[in-house]
């Protein structure tokens, strides 16, 4: 069983990834929690490349780097864990590339990119994806404290239109893959969101 969490930066998905992973562990599941890009030696090195503000990365190269990190993560960690009966909770998965590089950067046709991602993961896809949805300005406000403290990473230098396009791309993905997606209102209190997600996840794992 694979769960993924999606949404624009600052939507609160990492908070919810931790909550769901805890609930699953308490219920006795063997849980692998991973983030993208990252989760493997190669993936963490690619993450450093992608987020480093000193690097000028072409949009197509960016898309391929996110995809390369994902291919490694799927083969090295996700597939073995699922095969041994465990549950995987992903902080982002291939929908991030479709939304950010397809919708935000407009690097390639979204339908083509979606299809390409199925090849990157050799057909592995989440059983459930939670889209934590917040308005772009709410997300920006939430991130402002961290940005003031540590500065923006390379991806966070994009302008507001990029975030709006990315957010809209997520909405289209959630419509297109409605069976897999559940959209949650990320402006609600953390505990309420966690409860709604657990109620759905519990059903799915039973
Ligand atoms: N990216 C891409 O372009 N293509 C891809 O294929 C992939 C990724 C895989 C990864 O950055 C960047 O790479 C990201 C997308 C891009 N870039 N951008 N820009 P990352 O891994 O460093 O970060 P992230 O995944 O985007 O987000 P994050 O920093 O982990 O934040 P979050 O998961 O959205 O939110 P959070 O950490 O749970 O919460 C943010 C703040 O809000 C924090 O202060 C919380 O306490 C607060 N919070 C959380 N929930 C609530 C609620 N419900 N109410 C009020 N406040 C809340």
4, 5, 7, 10: residue to mutate for ligand 1 pocket, most atoms within 8 A of CB: 10
What CATH number does the domain located at 2-205 have? 3.40.50.300
The pLDDT, as a whole number, for residue 46 is: 98
Do residues 32 and 90 lie in contact, with contact meaning Cβ atoms separated by under 8 Å?
no
Nearest atom (ligand 1) to Cα of 145:
44
**End-to-end distance of the chain based on CA atoms, in angstroms?**
11
pTM of the model: 0.97
pLDDT digits (tens, 9 = 90+) for 129-147: 999 999 999 999 999 988 9
Do residues 12 and 193 lie in contact, with contact meaning Cβ atoms separated by under 8 Å?
yes
Measured from the Cβ of residue 85, the count of other Cβ atoms closer than 10 Å reads 9
The pLDDT, as a whole number, for residue 131 is: 98
Name the residue among 53, 127, 126, 72 with its Cα closest to residue 96.
126
Question: What's the rounded Cα separation, in Å, for the pair 163 and 113?
Answer: 18
The pLDDT, as a whole number, for residue 206 is: 82
pLDDT digits (tens, 9 = 90+) for 61-99: 999 999 999 999 999 999 999 999 999 999 999 999 999
Residues framing ligand 1 (Cβ under 6 A): 7, 9-15, 35-37, 66, 91-92, 96-97, 100-101, 142, 155-156, 186, 189-190, 193
Among the residues of 8-135, which ranges form H helices? Answer: 13-26, 41-51, 59-73, 79-83, 94-96, 110-120
Backbone angles phi, psi at 191, to 5 degrees: -65, -40
Cα 100 to ligand 1 centroid, rounded to whole Å: 13
């Amino acid at each position: 069983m694979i769960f993924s969490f999606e949404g624009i930066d600052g939507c609160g998905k990492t908070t919810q990834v931790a909550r769901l992973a805890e609930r699953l562990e308490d219920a006795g599941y063997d849980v692998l929690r991973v983030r993208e890009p990252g989760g493997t030696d190669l993936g963490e090195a690619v993450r450093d490349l992608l987020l480093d503000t000193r690097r000028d990365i072409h949009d197509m190269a960016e898309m391929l780097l996110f995809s390369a990190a994902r291919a490694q993560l799927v083969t090295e960690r996700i597939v073995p864990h699922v095969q041994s009966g465990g549950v995987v909770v992903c902080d982002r998965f291939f929908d991030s590339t479709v939304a950010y590089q397809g919708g935000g950067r407009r690097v390639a046709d979204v339908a083509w990119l979606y299809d390409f991602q199925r090849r990157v993961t050799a057909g592995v896809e989440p059983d459930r994806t939670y889209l934590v949805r917040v308005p772009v300005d709410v997300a920006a406000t939430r991130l402002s404290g961290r940005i003031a403290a540590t500065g923006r990473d390379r991806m966070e230098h994009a302008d507001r239109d990029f975030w709006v396009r990315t957010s809209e791309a997520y909405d289209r993905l959630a419509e297109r893959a409605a069976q897999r997606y559940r959209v949650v209102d990320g402006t609600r209190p953390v505990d309420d969101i966690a409860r709604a997600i657990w109620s759905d996840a519990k059903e799915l794992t039973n």
